[in-house]
Amino acid sequence: MRPKILVTRKISDLAEKKLEKEFDTTLNLKDEPIPESELINIVKDYDGMISTGFDKISESFFKNLNGKLKIIAQVGVGYDNIAIKFAESKKIKITNTPNVLNEAVAETTILLILAASRRIGEAYNLVRTDNWKNQKPDLTKFMIGNSVTGKTLGIIGMGRIGRIAAKYARAFGMKIIYYNRNKLSNDLEDGASYYSDIKDMLPKCDFVSIHTPATAETKHILNFSTISLLPRHAVVINTSRGSTIDDDALIDALENKKIYAAGLDVFNNEPNLDKRYLNLDNCFVLPHVGSATHETRLAMSMMAVDNIYCFFNGKPLISEVV
């Protein structure tokens, strides 16, 4: 009898077809979210599950399992929606999809740097609302933003995505500095300057971009204290996880012009972000689309399927979390 696999949300067509060839598969073709209470009851009949970051897989989920489920393959590099310690206690393997989304997220980082510094959200809205014609033509004031070329980009978390973002930023002649748990080798630094203390780095940043996972150590790494160290012209960029930023601190800084702007693709309590962000002209926001390219989402879906295949065929997992 073939293992039974539940797919909680719609994934790429090719990945679904590959999964169906190998396993007894239940797909979510309508892509309707499954509440955790329902998911707990449904998954008891399955040997494996492919999940996404939209799924809540908490302590309660694992406490109510019947022992049949053996693996959860997450489509996404982040897995803070999964109660990892409880998965480990139940001996359930967890995998994710790292590296295949690095370039796409780094591209989004550059998009946010440009959009926030050049006031693209405001400019776009002027045209879309047909208010451009009502603006006074003024060469020194109308939609004047800040240049990116030659500025200093501070990167918090110089992992693979952070390093690719740095590489792209160098095309604008940006100087790269970074804060990381450990100093990188010279070849990986590629000319970037290391700071062992984030408080020493932040005053030197024209832009600061977060590229860390969601952990206890990175929660609110940008808060009232650290944001206060940024220059008034600084721009905050986040394509990592919403929990890395204290919303009250960032919103206060934006509202009171303590910093220039922010570009955000991720938020606390997504998709129910703090509504105050929507009232800020100096905050350019996206709906967590950092990895949203056809190529990337296909690669993510295929990696999740491949992890399932490897597990049930006794092969090493491609990207094991626990």
| Residue whose C-alpha is closest to residue 212's, from 113, 77, 82 | 77
Q: Which residues contact 256 (CB under 8 A, 6 or more apart)?
A: none
| Residue whose C-alpha is closest to residue 235's, from 247, 245, 227 | 227
CA atoms within 13 A on the CB side of 311: 28
The terminus-to-terminus CA distance of the chain in angstroms comes to: 26
CA distance linking residue 128 with residue 18, whole number of Å: 42
CA atoms within 13 A on the CB side of 273: 22
State the Rg of the chain over Cα.
22
CA distance linking residue 212 with residue 178, whole number of Å: 12
Q: Which residue has the tokens 């980009």?
A: 153
Q: Hey, which residues are catalytic here? A: 241, 270, 288
**Per-position DSSP letters for 257-313, written without gaps between them:** TSSSEEEES--TTTTS--GGGGG-TTEEE-SS-TT-SHHHHHHHHHHHHHHHHHHHT
Let me know: does 155 contact 302? Beta carbons within 8 Å.
no
